[in-house]
Structure 1
Amino acid sequence: MSRSPQVSLDYPIWTALTTRQAHLGQGDALARRYHPDVAPFAALASETPAAYEALHQLLLPGEQVALLSQDSVSPIDALQTTRVGDLHQMLATQHKSGSVDDQGVIALSHADAKDMLDLVQKTKPGPFAKRTHEMGNYIGIRDQGRLIAMAGERMCIDGYVEISAVCVDDDWRGRGLAGRLVTILRRQIEQRGQTPFLHVLGGNRLAIGLYERLGFEIRRTFQLTRIGHAEPGSAVASNS
């Protein structure tokens, strides 16, 4: 029996790091992670002691990465685990017709990296590092030179592209900028013959509602867990 073409979405980090974004990461056949200045995500080929040991070797003391899993992560020798919460994966399923308002929307590049980081620090849309913009195309809106809104592409696997870093400066919220940017990115991704998807924390009802109105549906829910070196003498697992 052939596997569903969506099976790669069940393991988005591992699939991206072993295919189209391998150049942005490091690791081996057991465990892989993005370079720390790209993204804080890691993945395992399978949840085995050997794979967790391989992940341990990829981490510096005091460093943490985020993993997606179907179930809560069990205690792991030499690693501290902290459950962050439920993470919904949403897939674009409903095609929206009509024109797209792209007035004032610009492509962002390495030259905009500092402004992108500044906006992320103000708005806290999720993980974003100094090289995250290398993961895909980013677009934004400026007002009198100031970057006030942006969104971009993060994980990229065959047939699918993740939309991420959707954020708007507080002074400009409530004007539909986030929806405009997501819609533009969606059209661009679909024009390349790919399907957009995204991830959102289960408690972020405002974002979930926005994405549902834009034609995204929850496909599945992961457990999001932070993992790092265990402190000497500390417990190796936490459910906090």
Structure 2
Amino acid sequence: MSLTSSRPASTDVDLTVLDNAAWHALNHAHREFAEGSGAARRYRPDVSVFHATPDDEPASWDELYRATPPEESVVLFRALPLTPTDDWELQYSGPGFQLLFVADRAQPPALPATDPASGRAVRLRPLIDADIPAMTALVALTEPGPFRPRTIDLGGYVGIFHDDELVAMAGQRLRPPGFCEISAVCTHPSARRRGYASVVTLQVAAGIIDRGERPFLHLAASNTAAMAVYERIGFEVRTEVGFGVYRPLGANTDAAA
């Protein structure tokens, strides 16, 4: 499988939707995966961990609080500030970057027919439901970010195999209007230093561009090695983002009921 985008990435789009990409995705291309109403939305739990509100206003946090059972946590990820009301306990926070694809085209490098180090056959193909156990195992080993049993339903997943072993993959996640996020980019430790992360990232990017959308991705601020790879293949930093996990305090009887 080889795909080279034949059209440039779209530039006639509203970049501000990227500041709150999960919210705009849940109200646009991902409505079928959305739960909740009003100012409190989330992905179906078997698809993604993310929750979303339209803004950082106390009223939005209050609505999210009323919608969240006391035993659950919410996961928010956006460029907007994350300043919860006093009804929330912070469980985890981490800084990161949002990168936007700025190259004219996505051109994945060609793969060799055989891996020189192992002698095993190398092939690239779309990932399907039968691959989910291998995908889940690779994610558990490499920890590229949140991944759920039906994350594959978000589309665009491709993988590189050594014989029948999945050794690298990437796919799509958030889809705000005009854009599509590349996510779950990971490579098995035994298959690193072969450029596979670049191949799968550009493969997914090419499909996004051919659909008339613009690729973007997110990266932990500490992951400087991946930053160098992404910048080399056509991404640049657009903004800083915040990732936060919060638990509702108190009885929260509205959600419990």
Q: Same fold (TM over 0.5)?
A: yes
Aligned residues: 230
The reply to whether residue 125 of structure 1 matches residue 134 of structure 2 is no
Name which of 169, 183, 191 aligns with 1:164: 183
Q: Displacement of 1:137 after TM fit?
A: 1.1
Distance 2:84 2:218 in 1: 25
User: Residues 14-54 of structure 1: CA distance to partner in whole angstroms, max 9, x if unpaired?
Assistant: 00001110111211121111111111111112223332232
- Could you say which residue in structure 2 is the equivalent of 1:109? 128
Q: TM-score of the superposition, structure 1-length normalised?
A: 0.87
Match of 1:236 in 2: none
Match of 1:31 in 2: 40
Contact 2:47/2:151 (<8 A) preserved:
yes
1:84 to 83, 93, 97: 93
Q: Is 1:25–1:34's contact at 8 Å kept on the other side of the alignment?
A: yes
Residue 168 of structure 2 aligns with which residue? 149
Contact in 2 for aligned 1:8/1:15 (Cα 8 Å): yes
2:237 alignment partner, one of 214, 218, 225:
218
The C-alpha deviation readout for 1:57-111, integer Å capped at 9, x for no partner, is 4333332232134465335233212452212110000235766426611101122
Match for residue 176 of structure 1?
Answer: 195
Separation in 1, partners of 2:13, 2:201? 26
Of all paired residues, the percent bearing the same amino acid is 33
Between 1:123-132 and 1:104-113, the stretch displaced more is: 104-113
1:5 & 1:110 partners in 2: Cα distance? 34
1:200 corresponds to which letter in structure 2? L
Are the structure 2 counterparts of residues 213 and 99 from structure 1 closer, same or farther at C-alpha, using a change threshold of 3 Å?
Answer: closer
Structure 1 Cα separation of the partners of residues 89 and 237 of structure 2: 29
- For 1:111 and 1:216, the matched residues in 2 are separated by 31
| Deviation of 1:159 (Å) | 1.4
Structure 2, unaligned runs of 5 or more: 1-11, 114-122, 252-257
Q: Tell whether 2:83 aligns with 1:64.
A: no
CA distance in 1, matches of 2:139, 2:203: 20
Q: How far apart, CA to CA, are the structure 2 residues paired with 1:95 and 1:217?
A: 13
Amino acid at match of 1:74: T
- Asked if structure 2 preserves the Cα contact closer than 8 Å seen for 1:100 and 1:184, the reply is no
Query: Structure 2 length normalisation: TM-score?
Result: 0.82
SS in 2 for 1:106: strand
State the match for 1:230 in structure 2.
249
* 8 A contact 2:108–2:199 mirrored in 1: no
Structure 1 pair 184/26, CA: closer, same or farther in 2 (3 Å)? same
Structure 1: stretches of 5+ with no match in the other structure: 233-240
Q: 2: distance between equivalents of 1:199 and 1:99? A: 20
Q: Are residue 18 (structure 1) and residue 27 (structure 2) matched? A: yes
In structure 1, the residue matched to 2:5 is none
List structure 1 segments (4+ residues) > 6 angstroms apart after TM superposition. none
Tell me if structure 2 keeps the 8 A contact 1:73–1:81.
Answer: no
